[in-house]
Chain A
Amino acid sequence: MRWKKLGKIFDPTQHKLPNNCHQFAQAPQTLVCDDFVRIYFSTRTVDKQGKYLSHIAFVDMHTNLRDIILLSDRTVIPLGSLGAYDEHGIFPMNIVRQGDSIYAYICGWSRRISVSVETAIGLAISHDKGLTFQRVGDGPVLAASQHEPCLVGDGFVKVIGDTFHIWYIFGLGWKKYTPDSAPDRIYKIGHAVSKDGIAWVKEEGRKIISDRLGPDECQALPTVIEMDGQYDMFFCYRDAFDFRNNRERGYRIGHAFSNDLVNWTRNDETLLLDVSPGEWDADMVCYPHVFECEEKVYLLYNGNEFGRYGFGLAVLET
């Protein structure tokens, strides 16, 4: 398996975005349409305290994935209400077609005191072809539970047969790695199934992807595609601390495969999509999203600073 990098395809600082957002186009996720691809991403503004709020926006691109057709000019989905799980941001938002409507699994963020944040996954539905989404309930459909105590997020949903599958992350907890540093989180990839996309049965704390960087490895944003009768999962992983500015400890793209959706074999000893020295993705590669368009398999992903300056594209070489 080889990915050929096609470069950065969207830079949020070159456009006017709704909700007064200026930087960040994180965790791009696609809705593939007949003659264009709608790419949702999370972008940021700051509130009165100077803290970030993540909003969803989208860009429509020609199927050549180079030319921009349209940029969202209004709110795709408002943030949650006071005290709700998605009050301070939505990042990311995963899209699944369901009949005439479009489901969005939103990862909602809300701020905490002893640790910086908590997350959970909620459902919103669009009846206008993905221009806007309305929440189904003020609370999440997938949240912390007995053996997944915090930070349930990064959902990726795929309907296989008559079953909804969601791959997502859950937090094991928070740890202070040095006396003076803020607590850092540790999260792993998990899996749940559902008949309706709303009521989920978790595997409850089972870490489906083995660790490469030791027990505190952080694994994020799984994305799954079926190719030649096998399921391939891409995700990103990093060390648990000192990962923001230390290139050696930052996000890289991981890979695992499965034939039965139960057992996954990790297979990223050789990096499939490594950083490119001197480029926009020289320090880290993260938040992968795999999709098919016109019989090609693509991977959208973020580069340096977790996508502050946009996202890029790679194509699978056969």
Chain B
Amino acid sequence: MVDCAVFMSITPTRPALISQPASVSPSLAQRGAYYGGWTRCESVPFNVAIGVATSLDDGKTFAKSGNGPVLGFSQYEPFILSGPKIRHFNGTWYLWYIAGRKWKVVEGRPEPVYKIRMALSKDGINWKRLNKDLIESRIEEDEAQASPDVFYANRKFHMFFCYRYSSHYRCKERGYRIGYASSTNLEDWTRDDAKAGITVSEQGWDAEMVSYPHVFELDGKTYMLYLGDQVGKYGFGLAVLSGKLD
């Protein structure tokens, strides 16, 4: 399944069912990773599904838990299962990811349209899909949404993600921007992109697009890692939160 590229989401603690070998000291942290594994197709450029891997060396290397995906193609999520972010809230594992809606042919070239989705699990392996789009489309019906990342702060859940137009998006006007939504129950989300707090720069490495946000806390500060022009061709950057998420 995986032969082209991998996007990973790392869990701070392991999902319960991935059994820990008896020979490993319990004090040694085991890391789990959810990744989007890519494969090339003929009529469209690629397809993606979500797999699991674990690490016994503090994240230096990972071994796949199986050769196939844990979240693969299904009735209402027919292709492009990607961009997984796993989080643990209130005893339940939540996986935010994207699922392809359609391939839209633009000037003879298939362009993928995908939406933000969610699944729940008790063990990190068997997932119950919500089977609905979490975030309403704002700029157009075929808006593509990617890289949902959920963060808890000030008694609310905050989601950062990115979105773009479905066609001619490899440019400043229609390329990726970072969006924002909030929720109190993890299932119903209110989108308010004005609160994203970050957009393209006047000039420089992220003047054309900002995309694929990942939000984390370190030493009392909240940071966002994100990609700039050409979806990270020349690397990623960092932003720090001023003020607070509310």
**A interface residue numbers (CB < 8 A to B):** 81-85, 87-88, 110-114, 118, 120, 122-123, 136-141, 143-150, 173, 198, 205
> Can you show 18 pairs from A to B with CB atoms below 8 A apart?
A81-B102, A82-B44, A82-B102, A83-B44, A84-B78, A85-B79, A110-B43, A111-B42, A112-B41, A137-B78, A138-B78, A139-B76, A139-B77, A140-B74, A140-B75, A146-B66, A147-B68, A149-B68
A147 to B69, CA, bound (A): 8
B211 to chain A minimum Cβ distance, whole angstroms, is 22
Query: With a CB–CB cut-off of 8 A, which chain B residues contact A137?
Result: 74-76, 78
Say whether B68 contacts A85, CB under 8 Å.
no
Say whether A113 contacts B76, CB under 8 Å.
no
Query: With a CB–CB cut-off of 8 A, which chain A residues contact B72?
Result: 143-145
A145 to B75, CA, bound (A): 14
Say whether B41 contacts A150, CB under 8 Å.
no
A88 to B39, CA, bound (A): 17
Besides the known contacts A83-B41, A137-B75, A149-B68, 12 further A-B residue pairs in the complex with CB atoms under 8 A apart: A83-B47, A84-B78, A85-B73, A114-B3, A114-B40, A139-B74, A141-B75, A143-B74, A144-B1, A144-B72, A146-B70, A149-B67
A83-B110 contact, Cβ under 8 Å, with A144-B1, A145-B70: yes
A224 to chain B minimum Cβ distance, whole angstroms, is 24
Partner among A84, A141, A147 whose Cβ is within 8 Å of the Cβ of B66: A147
When C-beta atoms are compared, the residue in chain A nearest to B1 turns out to be A149
A87-B73 contact, Cβ under 8 Å, with A81-B102, A82-B103, A146-B52: no
B72 to chain A minimum Cβ distance, whole angstroms, is 5
A113-B1 contact, Cβ under 8 Å, with A83-B47, A146-B70: no
A112-B75 contact, Cβ under 8 Å, with A144-B1, A146-B66: no
Query: With a CB–CB cut-off of 8 A, which chain B residues contact A81?
Result: 102-103
Say whether A150 contacts B1, CB under 8 Å.
yes
A144-B40 contact, Cβ under 8 Å, with A83-B79, A85-B79, A139-B77: no
Say whether A146 contacts B41, CB under 8 Å.
no
The 10 closest A-B pairs by CB, nearest first: A139-B78, A137-B75, A149-B68, A146-B66, A111-B42, A113-B40, A149-B67, A83-B44, A83-B103, A138-B78
When C-beta atoms are compared, the residue in chain A nearest to B112 turns out to be A83
A120 to B75, CA, bound (A): 11
When C-beta atoms are compared, the residue in chain B nearest to A146 turns out to be B66
**B interface residue numbers (CB < 8 A to A):** 1, 3, 39-44, 47, 49, 51-52, 65-70, 72-79, 100, 102-103, 105, 110, 112, 125
Say whether B100 contacts A83, CB under 8 Å.
yes
When C-beta atoms are compared, the residue in chain B nearest to A141 turns out to be B75
Give the most central of A111, A113, A120: most B CB within 10 Å.
A113
B77 to chain A minimum Cβ distance, whole angstroms, is 6
A143-B73 contact, Cβ under 8 Å, with A82-B43, A148-B68, A149-B1: yes
Query: With a CB–CB cut-off of 8 A, which chain A residues contact B52?
Result: 146
A252 to chain B minimum Cβ distance, whole angstroms, is 28
A137 to B51, CA, bound (A): 23
A193 to chain B minimum Cβ distance, whole angstroms, is 15
Say whether B75 contacts A198, CB under 8 Å.
yes
A132 to chain B minimum Cβ distance, whole angstroms, is 20
Say whether A144 contacts B74, CB under 8 Å.
no
A143 to B69, CA, bound (A): 10
Say whether A146 contacts B77, CB under 8 Å.
no
When C-beta atoms are compared, the residue in chain B nearest to A148 turns out to be B68
Partner among A87, A136, A149 whose Cβ is within 8 Å of the Cβ of B75: A136
Say whether B102 contacts A146, CB under 8 Å.
no
B51 to chain A minimum Cβ distance, whole angstroms, is 8
A112-B67 contact, Cβ under 8 Å, with A123-B75, A140-B74: no
B106 to chain A minimum Cβ distance, whole angstroms, is 12
A188 to chain B minimum Cβ distance, whole angstroms, is 14
Query: With a CB–CB cut-off of 8 A, which chain A residues contact B78?
Result: 83-85, 137-140
B179 to chain A minimum Cβ distance, whole angstroms, is 25
Say whether A114 contacts B75, CB under 8 Å.
no
Query: With a CB–CB cut-off of 8 A, which chain B residues contact A83?
Result: 41, 43-44, 47, 78-79, 100, 102-103, 110, 112
When C-beta atoms are compared, the residue in chain A nearest to B79 turns out to be A83
Say whether A87 contacts B39, CB under 8 Å.
no
A88 to B102, CA, bound (A): 16
B3 to chain A minimum Cβ distance, whole angstroms, is 6
Query: With a CB–CB cut-off of 8 A, which chain A residues contact B44?
Result: 82-83
B214 to chain A minimum Cβ distance, whole angstroms, is 25
Query: With a CB–CB cut-off of 8 A, which chain A residues contact B42?
Result: 110-113
